[in-house]
Structure 1
Amino acid sequence: MKLQEIVIHNFMPYKGEQKIEFPQHETQNVMLLFGDNMRGKTSFLNSIRWGFYGLALGRHMRLIPRVNLVNSIAASEDNWTMSIVLKFSHEGRQYELRRQINKKEHISIPRNDGDFEELIGLKIDNQVINGDSIVNEINQVTPEEISRFFLFDGELLQEYENLLVEQSEQGEKIKEHIEQALGVPALVNGRNEFSKLLTDARRIQTRDAKNSSDAKTYAEQQRVNEGKQATLEKDIQDLEIQQRDVQKQIDDIEEELKNTEAVQRKKYELDTLKGQLKKVEEQLAYDADEQRKLFKDAWKDVLFKGVEPLVSSLQKRRNSLMSAANNKAVLDSKISELQKSLAKPICPTCTQIIPQEELDVITAKIEELKAEAELSSVDFDDVTNINLQIDKLNKVKSHNECSRICELVTKRRKAQVAVITIETQIDDIQEEIRGFDTEQIMRQREKKDRLGNQLFKLENDIKETKAKLNKLSENQAHISTLISKSSGSEGQSSTIRVNLYQNLESVFKAGINELRDALRGQVEEFASNAFSQLTTEKTYAGLEINNNYGLSILDHTGNVLKERSAGAEQIVALSLIDGLNKTARKSGPIVMDTPLGRLDPNHRSNVLKYLPKMAEQVVLLVHEGEIDPSRDLSNFAERIGARYQIQRISATESRIVRSN
C-alpha cells in the first residue's frame, strides 16, 4: 500500500481544507513534516489513523472523543463538519477513502460521540463500494491490528521497553497486538472454537455417562467440575469487568491530570517554595536568638579592645623589671667574686700575692659595678602589683562577639531578601493557579495511586483464577479420558466427538506454538540486521528475542547487556519495528512521530540513513531539535521526496505548507 494524498478538513488544529501529497518516487521515498511541539504533528498522524479506521488515539492509546476532533475555531462558528479523504494505491488498484462526521440535526452543541453521525465512502478504480463491504476492503489492504506498526510515535517506542519484562501486564498487551499483526489470532481463534466445541461435547458425554454403571462416578465428578468451571469463568468475567472499570477510572484521572499538568507543576513548585520559605524563616529565628545571646557578652568585646593595649604595656613593664632584677643579680655575683679577691689577694693559679696596682683596678671595678647594680635595683612589690593588674585584666576575655554579630546581621539581611523573593514567587504562583482546586488535583493523584494498587491486585486475582481454571481443565480432560475408556462409552458419539475435538484442539495448540516460535525467529533475524546498521557500537553480537517479543542486546561474548541507555532502548525499539514490518502479513508506509528524541548525533545519523530502507514510504514528523536542516539532512538528502512545515496561526489553529 502506498499513500498518495490526504485532504484534511477541520481536523483538530487544521481548520478548513488542507491537502498534503506524499512522495511517490521509488528512491525519494521520505516525507518530512517539521513542526514545533503542540503544533499538530501527532494530530497529522491521527488524521491518517482516523481516515482509515475512524479512531484517533491520545496518550496511553486512549480514544479521543469525536467532539475533541473537530477544530475548536470551526466549532465555535457552529461548523461541526470534519472529514478526511485518503487516496492510496495497492497492488495496482487506486483507492479513494472518505470519512466524515456531522452533528445530528436535532443536536445544538454535541457533547459525546452519539451526537454525531459518521459517513464513510470508498471508491476502487472509480467504482463505488457498498457500505457494508468498505471495512472489509480496508482490512484487506491495511488491517487495523497492524496499524500501530506503521503509525506510531515516541510514546509507542517507549512502550516496547516493557516487552523485556516477562509476565508484565503491559508487555502482555503489546505482545497481543504484535501477534495480531503477525497473524497468530487466526490459529488462536480456531483453537478457541474447538475448545468451546470440546466443552459442549464433554457435557453431553457426562450426561451419557450417567447411564453407565462403570462411568457413573466419573460423570458425577465431571458434573461437579462443570459447576466449578462455570463459577471460575464467572469469577474471571467479573474480575475482568472490575479490571476494565478500574483501568477506565485510572485513564479518566490521567486524562484529567493531563489537562492540569501545568497546575500540578506549579503546585509542586509552590510546595517546594513553601518548604524553602519555612527553612529560611527557621534559620532567621535561630540566627536572631544567636544574635541576642551574643549581645549579652558583646560589652566584653568592646572593653577587650581597650584592655588589650594596657595589658600589653603592663607585660612590657613587668618584663623590663624582671630583666633589671636579673641584671642586678648578675652584677651582685660579679661584685661578690671581686670582693673575695680583695679579702684574699693571692692568685689562685700561681699562688703569688696580687700587686697593689691590680688591687686598685679591682676596687675601681667593684665601685663601677655597684653603681650599675644600684641603677638596676627593683622593688618586687611593683612586680607583684603589675602581676595582679595583669591577672585582673586578663579576665576580660573576647570571643569576637562584635565580629560575629556583624556577620549575623549581614546573613540575616540576605535571608530577609530571600524571604521577600520567595514570598513574591509564592504570590505569583498562587495568582496563576487561583481558581484551580489544587487539593482536588492532589486527591486525584492519591486516588490514582490507590486504584493502581487495586488494579495490580485484580490482575493477580485474574492470573490465579485462570491458573485454577487451567488446572481444572486438565482434571476434566483426565476424567473425560477415563469415561472414554469405560465400558459402554467407547463407541458413543459423544465420546467420539470429545476425542476428535481434543485432538483438533491439540493440533491447533501445537500449531500456535510452532507459528509463534517461527515468527519470533524471523523477527529476531530482521531486527538484528536492522540493529547492526543502526547502532554505532559494532562489537555487539546482535539481538536476542524473548517470548514477549522483547529484544535484548548481546555483547561481543554473546551475553545479554544488563544496562541500556535511553538511546539504546530507542534503537532496539526501531529495530523491533523494522523486524515486525518485515515479518507482518501486510506491508505499508511507516509514519513516525518524534522518533529521534533520545538519540545522540551519531545514532541519529545512522537512523536517518537507515529509515528510508524500512518501507516504500517513510513519513517523519519531527521538530528541528531532532533533525537540524543545516546538519542532519545531508545524511539522507537524496531520499527526501517532500518537505512540509507546520505553521502556527494561533494556539488552536495550524496550517501545513510545502517547503523547498
Structure 2
Amino acid sequence: MQDSSLKSKTEVDILKEAALNNNIFPNTLYKILQSAKIDHYSENGSSAKRRQRIKEEIIQYSKEKKILSDDSALKLQVQAVDFIELKLNNYKTYYGKQTLNFKMPVQSEENIILVGGMNGAGKTTILKALRVLLYGKRNMTDLEYKEQFANTINNRFFSEGGRESSAELTLSVDSDYTHTIKLVWQYDNAKRMISETRTLIKRRNGSVRPISNNIITNNNLDTFNRLIDGWLPLESSPYFIFDGEEISTLVASRNSTKFKDAINRMIGLMFYDNLKSDIDFIVKDYERSLAKMADSAKVNHINKMVGALKTELKEAEEKLERVDMYLSGRNTKLSDLRKQRNDILMKNRDTRDVIVKEISQLEERLKNEKNNLNTLYKKNIIPTILKDKINLLSKRLNEEQLAQEKVIRSTAALKPYEEFMNQLLAKPLSPALTEQQLVQIQELGKTIWMEDHNISKIEEVEVLHDITNDTKKMLSNLASNAKADQIKNVIRNISKYENDLKNLNRRVSLAPSAVDASEIEREIEVLNRDVGDKEKTRRVRRNKVNQIKEELTKLMHELRRLGENIESDSELQKKYDFSKRVQNAVNHYTEQVLNWKVALISFEFKEMLSALFRKQNEFGNAYFDEKSMCIRIKNEAGTEIPIEERSAGEKQIISSAFIWAMTKASDLDLPVVIDTPLGRLDSHHRNNLITHFYRKLSKQVVILSTDTEITKEYMELMEQNTAKQLMLDYNEQEKYTVIREGYFEFTKGVS
C-alpha cells in the first residue's frame, strides 16, 4: 500500500467498503464490530455469550432499514485504559502512605506527567510496582519473583515495629467504573515475607462502597489474569511500561515468539480471529437449521414409517399375548400334574417295600453301634469309671508337691537365721534363761526375720503319698483315656435304634404296596417338551416386539431432532442470508484492515524513525515485514542493516519508533509509563523524542526522569507539554522518599 493511500484511507473507509460490497448498511456492520469488540474485552466475554449476542444483533439488524446520515459517527472505538493513582504504603523507599496521582487535569491538552527523582529515590520501584500489581509472577520464575519482591517493606517503618507493606493501583477501563488492584505483604521479625494477599476491588465512579471486593487465590487467578489481559495484555506490556534505557532490547528480540505475540495482540489479530470464528459458528448454526427445514419430505417419510411400525407392533404384541396365554394354561396344568406326582411319591414313602428297606438299614446301624460300644468298653471302661478318683488324686499330689517346695524354699531362707540363733544361744547368759524363754526368743526372732525378708508363713500340709514322676505321668494319661460321654452317646443310639426297629416291625405287616406314578411322569414329560417349544416361540416374538420398539424410538428421536426450533422457511432463510453477508463483510474487513495496519505500521515506523534520528537519509527503507512479523531496515543499496549491531542509543530510538507505530495501529489505547527515557541520548535525539514522540504517543504518558537528563532546553520543552509535575523527594538522613508536587528546583537557570 502506497504512503499516499495510507494518508487518505482510514479504517472507516475499509469498513464502508466491506459493508457496501456485501449489501449491508455501514452503520450495521459498525455496530456489530463495536459490540463484538466490547464483548471481547469485557469481564464476562465468554465465547457462548459473545456468539449469542452477535446472533441477536444479526436478527435485529437484518430488519434495519436506516443508514447513518453522518459518516463521522462511524468512529471505531478502541479499548481505552487510564491510570488513576498508585498508592504505596511503607513500600520499599516510600515511608508511610504515598500517592502518585496519575489523573489528568480536566480539559487539559497536555498528555505528559513528569515525575522527577534522583537515582535511588524510587523511580524503578514505581515501574516494578505497576508490573507486579498487574501481572504478579507472570513472566518470572519463583526465584526471580522472590528476589525482586522479598524485601518490599520500608526499612524505617520496619525498625519502628511495622510488619506490613502494600501497593495498590486504581485504573479506569470505561467511564462508569474504576478497578483497584491491591497487594499486601506481611513480614516476620526476621524481615522475611510470610504472606502476600492480592485483592481486586470494583467501584462505581463517585462511590466509596465497592460493588465487589474479591481476594485473588489460586482458584480464581486465571480469571483475574484474563481480565487484566483484556485491559492491558501481558504481551503488550513492553510497549507501555518500560525502562527507556532497556527498550533497546525490544528490537533485539524481534525474532522471538513473545515479540510476535505482542504484535498480534496490539493490532487486534486475536479479536479478529475470535470475531470470524464466532460468525462462522452462527452461519453454520443457521445452515444446520435450514438443513432441518429442508428435511420436510424426510419427516413425512419417517411419519409413514412410524405408522407402519405401530401397526406391525400391534400385530406382534397380539401374537406375543396369545403365546403367553397358551403358556400360562400349559404351566398351570403342568403344576397340577407335578402336585399329583408328588402326592403319590409321599404316599409311597409308607409302603411295605420302603419300610422293609428302612428296617434293613436300621439293623445295620444297630450292629455297628454295638460293635463300637464293645470296643470302647474294653479299652476305656476302667479310666472312665475311675476318672473322678484319678482327678482327685492328681490334685492332692500337686498340693503336696507345692507344699514340699515351699518348705524347702522357706528352710533355705531361714537357714542364716537358724545359724545366727544357734551361735547366739550357745553363749553363756547370766542369769540363765529358761527353756521356755529361749523358745520364745527363737520364735519371736523367726517371725521378725520372716517379715524383714518377705518370707510367707507356710501352711502345713500332711504328705500322704510318695510316688515318682513316672507314676504321676501314668495317672495323667489314664485320666485322658476316659470316654464317658462317647459311651453314653453310643448307648443312647443303641436304645433308639432298638425302639425304632420295634415300631417298624409293627408297621410292616399293615403297610400297603407302592402306587405306580409312571403314567403321570410320561404326561409331565410331554407337557415339558410342549412348554419348551412355546418358550422358544415366545422369545422370537418378544425379540420382534423389542426390535420394532427400538426402531420406533430411533425414528421418534429423529422426528424431535428435525422438529426443534423450526421457523418459517422465509424467516430462517432471511436470517441466514443476512448472516452470510455479515460473514463475507467481516472477512473482507478483517483481511483489508490487517493489511492496512501492517502497511500503517511500516509507514509510521519509517516516518517516526526519520523524525527521531539525527542521521538523516541513513536508512533507505524501514518497514514491517508481515510474513515474518518483524521490523526490518535497509540502507540505500537495499542491504539489510543488522539492528542488533547498532549502538544502545540508536536501538533505543529504533525501538521508540516501533512502539510509536504499534500504538497507532493498535486496538488498544493504553497509558505509557517510561523510566529514564533520555539518559543515553544526546541533546538532539532528546529534543526529537520529546517533540515528536512523547507529546503524541498516548493520551497519558508518565515519564520518570533523573536530574542527569535535565537541561534548560529539556525543562522548557517539558513545561510546555506537561499536564502535571511531581517530585520523588528522597531524604538522605532518614533514608526514605515522599511524593510531592513540583520538579527539580535546582534546574532553574541550568544551561
Q: Which band: TM-score by shorter chain? A: 0.3 to 0.5
TM-score, length of structure 2 as denominator length: 0.39
User: Highest CA radius of gyration, 1 or 2?
Assistant: 2
Which TM-score applies when normalising by structure 1?
0.43
